[in-house]
Structure 1
Amino acid sequence: MPGDAKPIIAILGGTGDLGSGLAKSWAAAGYEVVIGSRSAEKAAEAAAALGGSARGDDNAGAARAGDIVVLAVPFASHESTLLDVREAVQGKIVVDAAVPLVPPKVSTVQLPAEGSAAQIAQGLLGEGVRVVSAFHNVGATKLHGGGKADCDVLVFGNDKDARDQVIALAGVVATRGVDGGVLANSAAAEALTSVLIGINRRYKVPGAGIRITGLDIPAVG
């Protein structure tokens, strides 16, 4: 990717609530977005609605086209999607936003035996892929509301350069990205999603988020 050129962002599951919200925010900021879906036709329809340079394809095609690939699929589709795109994402950054929710008790923390969805992704994709974990605690309603989501985004990964690139992308869609350390720490943010779902229900709010206090890191933009 030459100079200061923006990366092409492929969003697998880009027709869902979170994926489409991320696509909308990044496209508005001038990023080229490729929306991925199990149905190329559905992805193309979503891209046409988004306008601009957005385009759609099936998940494998979107993964091949993207410089950075964002996985925004439900946990039930997590493993099958990873296996479908494994060859296409070698050498790339894959941003895993999946949360291991287990219906019907989605407000109860139920992490997988592997530790987190992100660790499952890294294991399936192999060391040729830099997996970064982010965007678990950003309510889709915030992304669709116009402007940036009023919350911080915790970003995890074993490669610092990859983390920094995703922190920059987080600052486009939300208040700021915050470096949360290694990929294993993603378990904290994935678990927190269930806590936030419970808070949303009890306090009747559309999308509770998080803010890390005490940091001398300015909001982006």
Structure 2
Amino acid sequence: MADTSKPVIGIIGGTGDLGSGLARAWANAGYAVVIGSRSAEKAADAAAQLGAGVRGLTNVGAAEAADIVILAVPFSNHAASIEEIRGAVQGKILVDAAVPLVPPKVSRVQLPEEGSAAQIAQDLLGEGVRVVSAFHNVGAAKLHKGGRADCDVLVFSDDKDARDQVITLAGAVANRGVGGGSLANSAAAEALTSVLIWINRQYKVLGAGIAITGLEDAAQA
């Protein structure tokens, strides 16, 4: 059963690999999760497979039901998805996990002129939405295995409180969340995704991740 003291999480693109993996991990960690899709029926079917009390609604329905909204859609659907849920996310935190991959060369860094997908999201949504950038470098396969993914999650935002809340969410599904500064810095994590794709292919692994060293020493100082 979900812990009512925790925020309700809505995942736009929740039927995809990353979205459903995050949904499974947060639900298992005691969060109430609502996954969204353009098709309510598709979302409901996916939610039933995930179990753990996950609900499935349309994208707008999931955004309306949630306290924190995760945008986990391909970059090709990024702008259209933001436009679809714009009204439903006003006053909320939106976590952008989209990566500006440009097929077929997805292992090559190709950032947009605006700097990053997260900066595009903030521009489109306006000041009424606190945009956070995170979860770009978490392999979906790790999330579906159960337990927490063995990697760190870089979290970026211009709003410190929103960033801290998402760092907590990251710690529930991965080793830990690590603040990475302002939203503009999200370009680094988005670019790193292409690097990790290249590493996965080169070394024939499923989910290369990142780990930030030295934080233990800082905590003890």
How far 1:49 sits from its partner (Å)? 1.4
Q: Equivalent residue for 2:104?
A: 104
Please give the secondary structure, in 2, of the residue aligned with 1:181: coil
Q: Equivalent residue for 1:92?
A: 92
Q: Equivalent residue for 1:209?
A: 209
Per-residue CA distance 1:36-80 (angstroms, 9 max, x = gap): 011110000111112232111110111011000000000000000
Please give the secondary structure, in 1, of the residue aligned with 2:36: strand
Distance in 2 separating the partners of 1:202 and 1:54:
36
Distance in 1 separating the partners of 2:70 and 2:20:
11
User: Are 2:196 and 1:196 aligned?
Assistant: yes
Distance in 2 separating the partners of 1:163 and 1:217:
22
Q: Equivalent residue for 1:164?
A: 164
Residue 155 to residue 217, structure 1, CA distance change in 2 (3 Å)? farther
Please give the secondary structure, in 2, of the residue aligned with 1:81: helix
Q: Equivalent residue for 2:144?
A: 144
1:85 counterpart letter in structure 2: I
Superposition TM-score, scaled by structure 2 size: 0.95
Distance in 1 separating the partners of 2:5 and 2:93:
16
Residue 19 to residue 217, structure 1, CA distance change in 2 (3 Å)? farther
Q: Equivalent residue for 2:182?
A: 182
Q: Equivalent residue for 2:113?
A: 113
Please give the secondary structure, in 2, of the residue aligned with 1:109: coil
Q: CA RMSD in A?
A: 1.2
1:13-52 alignment, distance < 5 Å? 13-52=13-52
Distance in 2 separating the partners of 1:29 and 1:200:
28
1:118-137 alignment, distance < 5 Å? 118-137=118-137
Q: Equivalent residue for 1:53?
A: 53
Distance in 2 separating the partners of 1:53 and 1:165:
22
Distance in 1 separating the partners of 2:217 and 2:150:
15
Distance in 2 separating the partners of 1:149 and 1:51:
19
1:202 counterpart letter in structure 2: Q
Distance in 1 separating the partners of 2:39 and 2:65:
16
Per-residue CA distance 1:177-213 (angstroms, 9 max, x = gap): 0000000000000000000000000000001000011
Distance in 2 separating the partners of 1:158 and 1:104:
32
How far 1:217 sits from its partner (Å)? 7.8
Distance in 2 separating the partners of 1:74 and 1:93:
20
Q: Which has the higher helix share?
A: 2
Q: Equivalent residue for 1:72?
A: 72
1:31 counterpart letter in structure 2: Y
Distance in 2 separating the partners of 1:51 and 1:212:
33
Distance in 1 separating the partners of 2:158 and 2:166:
12
